[in-house]
A and B are shown apart, each in its own frame.
Chain A
């Protein structure tokens, strides 16, 4: 088990628990017709989470210090795809489903492995148009269609 990671996690969960406790103190303490207000359950849970985080913090002391060998990670690939996904989400409603999905997929495929551009384009186009056609035209669902300045 990774000592640093678990310490970070324990600290984060401790903060989350404390935050929920503090915030639930601001909630109304009573509810009409009920003896228990909406503040009780989150407060108790926050308390339990704080205790558990402290327990985890103590447990990390007995971890061995030797850092485990990590195999190389593909951070670059991941970052490109993740940022592309964030842009995909951000532009989905303004640029429309078909174009954003197509672009995201082409970028994704090419980031995973360069080359075979035409195949990537064909699969991306097939997926984005296929989903749009099936879902919007056939099933009458709602998806942002084309760019808003286009309509």
Chain B
């Protein structure tokens, strides 16, 4: 009962005119971000944090946090919608989670059924979004109640598990993923120590006392790194777009895709809840599942509608599912949710079990706004898909310098020092170089966000145990979490040693 009344309160927050506007702007920009090749959901959300920070500057802190997270989450799931558009029309996925969609989506477009494919992708995403939200509403309270019983030792182990999960699955080499995680954690120690007030690794540079600003690092690594890559690799869009044709799907199309949408949504949701396994993996698995259980597996790859419906539902389900560990446990399971978490922390809102008690307007407002955002996306995408297809044709020569200018503006507007702008450029270079040589960037950001929390919980646990490191193994919940974390790393390692190929998540 209380959940329902909280949800109603959430709708009250989300239905305030300015929040409706924020949700609308969020999903609109998100769709554009998804459509534009080269800007993924991660760089899109990172780029918009400073913009939302200035847009919400007139509101009270709590309202500002709610409004900006509503906008940023809108970008996140809007991008999942938009990503399908380029996969279908151009055979180039806008982001990695819609790679699978190209297999059947582009074939459909070549057969003149692009409109139906786009519509099914939108409907599938909508259904999956709603499924994920129902799951979120049902699981949020019980999960955060469990987490409330956690002490510092349990928290430390839980976050270690989160890092293990993400690092174990990210990128081509586990060693590289771990290096990035540890590097991120190390970067998070720069600045004044929270407990003792000692300045660490600052070398008397006053800008460093506050630590490396998460926003600067994220925008540099993702947005600028991506732009530098596009310039260096001369990635220009050719702009050969398939005709869209009739947008509404036929009854037969709907009937054929009902099953895949339902299965894809559920599968995607559960994969999304697991930390580390993001939308890319979800879309991949659901496509394989549909192909396995289909009566006509030979039709997959030839332009069957189930091959579009399933992965598109799954990637949206996963992005909704990924919100659960973020909101209830305070553990982001992917790069994008790590960035959302960084944004919340910027507003002094700490995601985790206390979120629902301390900031109900933020938590439930966000959940309710996701309902509304999904409806907006469905309405927006059906008639406007032809306009969004036009965005693909934005010339890269204007787009890339503009992204640099927006990044500089964003970082300067929030930090008001040129030191951070230089830092931004440096991290852009670093991000390009690291991504180019298969070092995954998501674990670095995750380490940077989780670092202070891991350290604080570790030190609190150790203080309570008088410096005895065994405390993490003596508490049963903590021990279980550590064992799972260990298995998460060890199992793929052993499988690799035995010559089995391990599915990995190329980026999240």
Interfacial residues, chain A to chain B (CB-CB below 8 A): 1-2, 5-6, 9, 13, 16-17, 20, 23-24, 27-28, 31-38, 40-42, 45-46, 48-49, 52-53, 55-56, 59, 71-75, 77-78, 81-82, 85-86, 88-90, 92-93, 97, 101, 104-105, 108-109, 112-113, 123, 127-128, 131, 135, 139-143
Known: A41-B455, A75-B232, A108-B400. A36 touches B462 (CB 8 A): yes
Any chain A CB within 8 A of the CB of B287? no
Residue-wise, chain B 395-436 has the 8 Å CB interface mask toward A (1 for contact) of 011101110110011001100101001101100010000100
**In the bound complex, do residue A101 and residue B405 qualify as a contact, i.e. CB atoms below 8 Å apart?**
yes
**In the bound complex, do residue B396 and residue A104 qualify as a contact, i.e. CB atoms below 8 Å apart?**
no
Q: How far is the CB of B28 from chain A (nearest CB, A)?
A: 17
Apart from A48-B182, A85-B425, A108-B400: 4 A-B pairs, beta carbons within 8 A: A35-B462, A42-B186, A81-B401, A112-B400
Partner of A73, one of B172, B176, B232, B401: B232
**In the bound complex, do residue A139 and residue B54 qualify as a contact, i.e. CB atoms below 8 Å apart?**
yes
**In the bound complex, do residue A135 and residue B413 qualify as a contact, i.e. CB atoms below 8 Å apart?**
yes
Partner of A108, one of B401, B459, B462: B401
Q: How far is the CB of A135 from chain B (nearest CB, A)?
A: 6
Report the contact-size class of chain B (Cβ under 8 Å from the partner).
35 or more
Q: How far is the CB of A1 from chain B (nearest CB, A)?
A: 6
Instruction: Give the 9 A-B residue pairs with the shortest CB-CB distance, closest first.
Output: A108-B401, A31-B196, A112-B397, A38-B193, A35-B467, A89-B421, A113-B397, A42-B189, A41-B455
**In the bound complex, do residue A6 and residue B437 qualify as a contact, i.e. CB atoms below 8 Å apart?**
yes
**In the bound complex, do residue B418 and residue A90 qualify as a contact, i.e. CB atoms below 8 Å apart?**
yes
**In the bound complex, do residue B408 and residue A89 qualify as a contact, i.e. CB atoms below 8 Å apart?**
yes
Known: A23-B201, A131-B409, A135-B413. A41 touches B463 (CB 8 A): no
Residues of A within 8 A of B425 (CB): 82, 85-86, 89
**In the bound complex, do residue A1 and residue B172 qualify as a contact, i.e. CB atoms below 8 Å apart?**
yes
Known: A82-B425, A127-B405. A37 touches B196 (CB 8 A): yes
Which B residues, 190 to 242, have Cβ-Cβ distances below 8 Å to chain A?
Answer: 193, 195-196, 198, 200-201, 228, 231-234
